[in-house]
């Protein structure tokens, strides 16, 4: 059986590099092309020396492939997706360009008018635990953001069961790789090392995505979400602490069973016995979740941990590709975490 030909658009960013790493040993795919504008014409191994035997020349433009992974900046990704779809390729977009269903939100949160608003309704939201059937038949998948992945997976079971209301606080902490490879003062070593800082208190770009999906999980109930992201001095990983008011009486045992039932057949969800650490998922496609009832305040507390570059980006994109092409969902991405 011939291998699936894939393309990576913008392979020299962190998400693109992680795609190459994870696809390196994927038994069912062949990297047909990898693009990078400033590095076009150079050998891929120059930028990915940790992946020997990748005999690929980086190109400026996308070539021919059955599926393309887009790791481009916002808006550029949408423009590229339109061209690739017209050529008959399936597209998995790692940017935010197809995650939001309301095109007006792109001007408000990303500063541009969406160039292909007709595709927003068609795009499947690429969170397999909630949208597997839509992903399976899709030609365009919007890979979720890293912060939204951790928050939605943490809260979806409780919202689906109707045990919490829509007043939710999400305190999320991310490693520096979440800022990408572009040089920023806050992500320089002397600024980030031995430091921790909150940012985007006025509203982070991932907030409308979180609001959209939690509203669906909560069966359209009104959401009042406070989302505060933090930068912490680690390379990769996200730890989210989520808080919500309980609106139904539920015991700790019932809560744990509720989460076990909701994620009973999910290969990449791990329900932890103790609050998870970032190091327990680093380098893997797993999401570790720990739900707890605070009896004193009658609140639900859920801790979730993911690797922002894997389950929060490249790994989840490959999980979506496996579903789209009828492969075993875990193919190529069942690797355990790197610990410590």
Helix/strand/coil (H, E, C) string of 93-128?
ECCCCCCCCCCHHHHHHHCCCCCCHHHCCCCEECCH
How crowded is the C-beta side of 252, counted as CA atoms within 13 Å? 7
CA–CA separation, 294 and 255 (whole Å)? 12
Q: What are the residue numbers of the active site?
A: 146
Positive or negative, the CA dihedral 12, 77, 68, 307 is positive
DSSP 110-176: HSS--S-GGGTTTSEE--HHHHHHHHHT-SEEEPPPHHHHHHHHHHHHHHHHT-EEEEEEEEEEE-G
CA–CA separation, 322 and 340 (whole Å)? 29
User: Are the CB atoms for 141 and 324 separated by under 8 Å?
Assistant: yes
- The C-alpha angle 75, 107, 13, rounded to 5 degrees, equals 30
Task: Identify the CA nearest to 125 among candidates 152, 107, 104, 106.
Answer: 152
Q: Which helix (H) or strand (E) holds 186?
A: none
CA–CA separation, 75 and 80 (whole Å)? 9
User: Are the CB atoms for 142 and 130 separated by under 8 Å?
Assistant: no
């Amino acid at each position: 059986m011939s291998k699936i030909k894939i393309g990576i658009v913008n392979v020299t960013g962190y998400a693109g590099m992680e795609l190459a790493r994870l696809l390196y040993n994927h038994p069912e795919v062949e990297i047909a092309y990898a693009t990078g504008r400033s590095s076009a014409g150079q050998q891929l191994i120059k930028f990915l020396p940790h992946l020997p035997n990748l005999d690929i020349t980086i190109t400026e433009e996308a070539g021919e492939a059955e599926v393309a992974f887009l790791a481009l900046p916002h808006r550029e990704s949408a423009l590229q997706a339109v061209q690739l779809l017209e050529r008959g390729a399936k597209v998995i977009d790692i940017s935010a360009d197809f995650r939001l269903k309301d095109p007006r939100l792109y001007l408000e949160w990303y500063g541009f008018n969406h160039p292909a608003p007709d595709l927003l309704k068609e795009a499947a939201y690429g969170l397999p635990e909630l949208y597997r059937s839509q992903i399976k038949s899709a030609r365009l998948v919007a890979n979720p953001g890293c912060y939204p992945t951790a928050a939605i997976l943490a809260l979806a079971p409780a919202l689906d069961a109707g045990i919490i209301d829509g007043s939710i606080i999400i305190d999320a902490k991310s490693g520096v790789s979440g800022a990408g490879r572009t040089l920023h003062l806050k992500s320089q070593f002397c600024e980030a090392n031995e430091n921790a800082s909150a940012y985007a208190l006025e509203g982070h770009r991932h907030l409308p995505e979180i609001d959209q999906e939690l509203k669906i999980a909560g069966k359209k109930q009104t959401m009042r979400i406070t989302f505060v992201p933090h930068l912490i001095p680690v390379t990769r990983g996200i730890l989210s602490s989520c808080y919500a008011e309980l609106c139904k009486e539920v015991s700790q045992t019932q809560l744990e069973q509720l989460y076990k039932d909701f994620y009973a057949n999910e290969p990449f969800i791990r329900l932890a016995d103790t609050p998870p650490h970032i190091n327990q998922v680093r380098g893997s496609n797993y999401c570790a979740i720990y739900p707890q009832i605070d009896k004193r305040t009658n609140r639900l507390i859920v801790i979730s941990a993911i690797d922002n570059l894997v389950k929060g980006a490249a790994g989840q994109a490959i999980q979506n590709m496996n579903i789209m092409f009828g492969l075993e969902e875990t193919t190529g991405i069942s690797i355990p975490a790197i610990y410590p």
